[in-house]
Amino acid sequence: MTTSGKNVLGWQVSEAELRAWLDTLIEGNASVVAPVQVQHQRLYRALTNSAEATFESGKTEWSPKEFLFPRSEVLFSFSKRGNRIQLSDPPAANQNQVIVGVRSCDATGLKRLDAVFLDQQQDLLYSQRRENTTVVGLACDAPDPECFCTAVGISPVGSEGCDLQLAAIDENTWLLCPITERGRRLAEDTCTAWMPATQADVEVLGQHEHRVAEEIHRQPLADTCSSILEDSFDHPVWKRLAETCLGCSICASVCPSCSCFDMNHEGDAWGGSQYRSWDGCTFGLFTKHASGHNPRSTKGHRFRQRVLHKFAFRKPDEPFRCVGCGRCLDLCPAGLDIHAAVRRVVESAPEGVT
């Protein structure tokens, strides 16, 4: 057997080999981003060395989306000298980055961002970063209590959005599988002498999938809920559901698939920049017009928008935008639960609405 070639299923990599590989990538000038314990939170951070990374069970507090779609970024800058106005682009986002340890919900969330920033129209800054990014997934072996990926049709060991995927074989051994040609090339160009994985190693994925699925107790949300939600647009249940919402938009910030942003500029008549920052549809000002009119003037209107955007506004062949990571229900200070909200609206729909 060889450690390379098209037919390799993957590699068996010890914990020490995995960390040595990450250090090689860092030394090769890639920005390697991985979960890091920061006080009581686990967050994605660019590593200075592989010892900082943690690959324990459970997901990070925030998703990795900010490494492709930053919280705030400059779109262009301008300066005025006499009658001349000069416009300049931000520095190109051309550093290679490898995002490691991405759970299947979050990797699928990146695909949802691709659908907005690449498929609908090419967003230059996003596409530059995406082009230079390799995603190394991490198959889930234990869900957090709020997780519901299986309820939205996503496997806890799914590899959508990944270029390579890790799965724990035992406490000290990983399975590393190539998913895309890009991932295969990165591994083959930088690995030293990893053992090829066997069919028995690969079967660990099925074991993880079975175990995690058994532990997720949230009911699956059927495809038909999209039309029921849309048909319930004027139902009074939205007002009741959103009564305690604080309009903080933590739900949108932590969501791996939320892509809304607002644009502003700073500076003066002689120079400044235009930048965009994450926005959230539960903010009271999100749709407020300059005239003062706000088409989503109540919390019910705004929470309805959030739920419908995640679960209803889609073409027949498109998946839900929610990937079931559960972060919004875990971190919402008012305890709003988007999965329970969908079920409540569906159950409140008048008979005959399907």
Binding site for ligand SF4 (CB under 6 A): 245-251, 254-257, 282, 310, 322-328, 332-334, 336, 338
Question: How far apart are CB 247 and ligand SF4 at their closest, in Å?
Answer: 5
Shortest Å, Cβ 167 to ligand SF4? 22
Q: Residue 273: which residues within 8 A CB-CB, separation 6 or more? A: 74, 75, 76, 77, 78, 265, 266, 267
Question: Which lies closer to ligand SF4 via its Cβ, residue 323 or residue 346?
Answer: 323
Residue with tokens 């949230």: 218
Handedness of CA 300, 305, 311, 317 (dihedral sign): positive
Q: Of 338, 254, 250, whose CA–CA distance to 64 is shortest?
A: 254
Q: Which is nearer to ligand SF4, 50 or 305 (CB)?
A: 305
Minimum CB distance to ligand SF4 smaller for 212 or for 323? 323
User: 10 Å Cβ neighbour count for 261?
Assistant: 16
Nearer to ligand SF4, 162 or 336 (CB): 336
At its nearest, how many Å lie between ligand SF4 and the CB of residue 264? 21
Distances (CA, A) of 209 to 75, 142, 295: 41, 9, 43
User: Min. distance of Cβ 149 from ligand SF4 in angstroms?
Assistant: 9
47 or 254, CB closer to ligand SF4?
254
Least Å from the CB of residue 246 to ligand SF4: 4
Task: Give the nearer residue to ligand SF4 in terms of CB position, either 13 or 307.
Answer: 307
Phi-psi region of 205 (alpha: psi -120 to 50; beta: other; left: phi over 0): alpha
Rounded to 10°, the helix 299-311/338-348 angle is 100
In the complex, minimum distance from the CB of residue 254 to ligand SF4, in angstroms, rounded to a whole number: 6
SS3 content of the chain, % helix, strand, coil (to 5): 35, 20, 45
Place of tokens 């009564």: 243
Any alpha helices (H) in the chain, and if so which ranges? 15-27, 104-114, 124-131, 181-190, 199-202, 204-215, 225-231, 237-241, 250-254, 299-311, 327-331, 338-348
Between residues 47 and 154, which has the closer beta carbon with respect to ligand SF4? 154
What phi, psi does 316 have (nearest 5°)? -55, -35
The neighbouring-strand residues paired with 114 are none
> Minimum Å distance from CB 132 to ligand SF4?
25
Minimum distance from CB of 314 to ligand SF4 (Å)? Answer: 14
Tokens of 214: 């058994």
Is 202 or 331 the residue whose CB approaches ligand SF4 more closely?
331
Please give the order of strands across the beta sheet that includes 72-81. Answer: 84-88, 72-81, 271-278, 261-268
Q: How far is the CB of 333 from ligand SF4 (least distance, A)?
A: 6
The DSSP H or E segment spanning 76 is strand 72-81
**Choice between 130 and 218, CB closer to ligand SF4:** 218
